[in-house]
Homo-oligomer: A and B are copies of this chain.
Amino acid sequence: MTSKQQSSPHQFPDGSDAFPHRHLLGIAGLQPWEILFLLQEAGQWVDLNRKSSKHASRLEGLTVINAFFENSTRTLLSFEIAGKRMGADVVNMHAAHSSVKKGETLIDTAVTLNAMRADAIVIRHASSGAVSLIADKVDCPVLNAGDGSHEHPTQALLDALTIQRRKGDISGLTVTICGDIMHSRVARSNIYCLTTLGARVRVCAPPALLPAALDQMNVETFTDFNAALDGTDVVMMLRLQNERMSGDFIPSPREYHHLYGLTRDRLALAGEDALVMHPGPMNRGVEISSDVADDADRSAITEQVEMGVAVRMACLDVLTRRSRKVEGWS
């Protein structure tokens, strides 16, 4: 398995010769060159995926377990396709069928997956911190596919890759993230990722959905969406979860759309050629209007999905290099 082609050009200014992290639990704590390294690695998989035959053999003979304790069709599909395209044996563990329902502790589940000699475990869980808890108990790399309102690092990486390919260097760009900032792991991971890469990040939300902890993050906060849009290069809309739509946080979807929905008129307030993004699935007519979502020039929403598979292929590849004994990664 040791092979020269599998190692990557050195990119690490601190003198280390390889991505130093065992797991991908979040974006917080990653250095800018580490993020850029993962984005560069993902680039090659974008190219492969556009070919008719899109199969790599790097992970051949490895077992990747997708342990989804919280349902997510898109993210699971994306990771499953990524693992299979890399040649791995991929198995999905669905929460709905899981022994967690029989009262098994999360740690016991982790130890079980580990004992089956998984080479990478991808985990989605409704509780913040659950993924980190599992990572402490296993011998293989763990990839966080979203945990509670904590982090969703591959989402931030795919968003960064999308911006990079459309806008070039992320450093110096102004990015506005609008929606339920308080509960969003997508927002949190993106804030870490984009500020680390040197972007100016604005967050915008109704007052009830704007967390207090933002003081420590290097962002500007807005409650007026029109003001937040002024001159921005990228507008990143968040999905409004159904459970927030009626009741404590939002008066109604219609009201929300009126104040925080991205419409064509409102988009005109942003910078010329501002990019429109959304992690999906969209609530059309709530946080985003259909004409904006479907604008082939401005919307990068479909491209985000495509970048997602490539980013996950890269992460699976990079994190398993040590166990695969790729040259320079021992």
Q: Which residues of A contact B (CB under 8 A)?
A: 1, 49-50, 52-55, 60-63, 65, 71-74, 76-78, 80-81, 84-85, 89, 91, 93-94, 96-99, 102-105, 108-109, 111-117, 119, 242, 280-284, 302-303, 305-306, 308-309, 323-325
Contact = CB atoms under 8 A, between A and B. Distances in A.
Contact of A99 (B65, B80, B280): B280
A309 B117 CA distance: 9
Given A73-B97, A93-B73, A99-B74, A324 B52 contact: yes
A116 B309 contact: yes
Contact of A74 (B53, B112, B324): B112
B54 A61 contact: yes
A271 B72 CA distance: 49
Contacts of A116: 77-78, 81, 305-306, 308-309
Contacts of A113: 77
A97 B281 CA distance: 13
A81 B89 contact: yes
B94 A97 contact: yes
Contacts of A62: 52-54
Number of copies: 3
B306 A117 contact: yes
Contact of A117 (B50, B97, B111): B50
Given A84-B63, A242-B103, A53 B1 contact: yes
Contact of A63 (B85, B119, B325): B85
B63 A53 contact: no
Nearest to A99: B281
Contacts of A302: 111-112, 114-115
Contacts of A50: 117
Contacts of A94: 73, 97
28 contacts: A1-B52, A52-B61, A52-B119, A52-B324, A53-B61, A54-B63, A54-B117, A55-B60, A65-B77, A72-B99, A73-B97, A73-B99, A77-B91, A77-B113, A77-B116, A78-B116, A80-B91, A85-B89, A94-B97, A96-B97, A99-B281, A104-B281, A108-B281, A108-B282, A111-B305, A114-B302, A115-B302, A115-B305
The 10 A-B residue pairs with the shortest CB-CB distance, nearest first, are A53-B61, A104-B281, A55-B61, A115-B305, A84-B89, A99-B281, A73-B98, A115-B306, A49-B117, A115-B302
A91 B99 contact: no
Given A98-B73, A99-B74, A305-B115, A104 B60 contact: no
A21 to B, nearest CB: 19
Nearest to A51: B61
A216 to B, nearest CB: 31
Contacts of A102: 242, 281
A77 B93 contact: yes
Contacts of A84: 63, 89, 91
A215 to B, nearest CB: 32
Nearest to A307: B115
Nearest to A103: B283
Nearest to A105: B284
